[in-house]
């Protein structure tokens, strides 16, 4: 029984080591959660920021996945705020950010998705919060995304 526990512990510990590690110089308003892998941060007024990845399947490039994401969210009732903002990170990685607005109860929320396509994976940097809170950090967040490193 002790042996089985050791094996399970080894597997769980090993899985954590495989989690993607992303780096970004977040705006001063954000405080990063200390955790293994991934990237998560929050502001005092509740604007969340996180990075995650999904498989690039079916395989597509950045314009394909940016368009697919836009169509998907618009079809679900989200309203796009402004135009899609495409840019290069400091490491030369192409990314595109889409910002959407949506009502949530009696409040308006903002939801931003930044897409990076890295070979067989898509890295998404997502942020969301009450519109008024999000609007205060939106420009700083756009600047910070240029420092994002989606890893290899």
pTM of the model: 0.84
Average pLDDT of the residues in 43-48: 96
pLDDT at residue 36, as a whole number: 63
Q: Residue 89 — pLDDT band, cuts 50, 70, 90?
A: very high
Considering the domain boundaries, does residue 32 fall inside one?
Answer: yes
What's the CATH code of the domain at 56? 3.40.1000.10
Could you write out the DSSP letters of every residue in 123-148?
EEEEEEEEHHHHHHHHHHHHHHHTT-
Asked if residue 47 is part of any domain, the answer here is yes
Mean pLDDT taken over the chain: 87
Total domains, the chain: 1
User: Do 14 and 8 meet the contact criterion of CB atoms below 8 Å apart?
Assistant: no
Q: Is residue 3 part of a domain?
A: no
Q: What average pLDDT does this structure show over 136-143?
A: 96
Is pLDDT of 109 > 90? yes
Residue 112 lies in a domain: yes
pLDDT at 37: 66
């Amino acid at each position: 029984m002790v042996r089985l526990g050791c094996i399970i512990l080894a597997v769980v510990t090993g899985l954590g080591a495989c989690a993607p590690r992303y780096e970004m110089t977040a705006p001063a308003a954000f405080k990063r959660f200390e955790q293994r892998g991934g990237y998560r941060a929050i502001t005092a007024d509740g604007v969340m920021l996180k990075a995650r990845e999904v498989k690039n399947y079916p395989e597509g490039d950045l314009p394909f996945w940016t368009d697919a994401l836009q169509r998907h969210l618009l079809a679900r009732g989200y309203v796009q705020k402004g135009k899609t903002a495409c840019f290069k990170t400091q490491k030369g990685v192409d990314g595109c950010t889409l910002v959407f607005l949506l009502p949530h109860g009696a409040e308006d929320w903002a939801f931003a998705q930044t897409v990076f396509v890295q070979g067989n994976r898509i890295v998404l940097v997502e942020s969301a919060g009450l519109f008024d809170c999000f609007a205060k950090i939106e420009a700083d967040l756009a600047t910070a995304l240029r420092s994002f490193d989606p890893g290899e």
